[in-house]
Amino acid sequence: MEALHATPLAAPSAAITKACAGLSNFTRHADYGFCVGALAADPAAGTAKDARALAIVAANLTATNVSSTLLVLNGLLDNLSHCRSTYKDMSKTLAAAASEMLLYASPKPQLDCDLLLFEASPKGDPIMKENDDAKNLSDLASVIAMLAGSKNQV
C-alpha cells in the first residue's frame, strides 16, 4: 500500500502527534513513526480533531490495505493456476515421451512461473509488506479507538 510509505502531505497535526505519542500507554506494539507516517499521509487525518476521528481514519486505511492485499492475492492465485497448468502439461508430455522413448519430445521448462509469482517482490514473500501493513494498521485503529475512550483523549 503506497500511501503508507508516501511522504506525508503536510506536517502531522497536533491531534496526530498526540494520538501517536499516546499509543505507548496501551501497547508495546505501536510504532510512533508508523503511526505518524500512515496518518499524516491521509488527508482525512489532517482534519481530524480527536482520537475518535483518527481511529476512523486508521480503520479506513486498514480496509484499503486489506482490499489492496486481496488484489495481490488474487493475482498470485491466477499466476499459480497458470503455473500449475504448465506443470500438468509438462508432466503429460514427459510421461508420453518416457513411454515412447522419445526424448526429443521432452518439454522445456517454462521459467516464467517464478516471474509470475514474484514479479512484484523478487526478494521473497510477495505479500509480506501487505501482511505487515494490515496488522500494523489494524493495531493502530484498535489502539487509537482505546485512546479515544480513555481519560487521555486527544
pLDDT (tens digit per residue) in 21-56: 988 778 777 789 999 999 999 999 989 999 999 999
Residue 97 Cα to chain centre, angstroms: 44
Task: Find the angle CA(144)-CA(73)-CA(28) to the nearest 5 degrees.
Answer: 25
95 versus 108: the higher-pLDDT residue is 95
Could you report how far apart the first and last alpha carbons of the chain are, in Å? 27
Going by pLDDT thresholds of 50, 70 and 90, the confidence category of residue 1 is very low
Amino acid 92: pLDDT: 81
Amino acid 93: pLDDT: 76
Report, as an integer, the average pLDDT of 60-82: 91
Q: 130 by DSSP, 3-state: which?
A: helix
Amino acid 42: pLDDT: 93
Amino acid 53: pLDDT: 94
136 versus 64: the higher-pLDDT residue is 64
Q: What size, in residues, is the chain?
A: 154
Q: Is-above-0.75 flag for pTM?
A: no
Query: For the chain, how big is the Rg over CA atoms in Å?
Result: 23
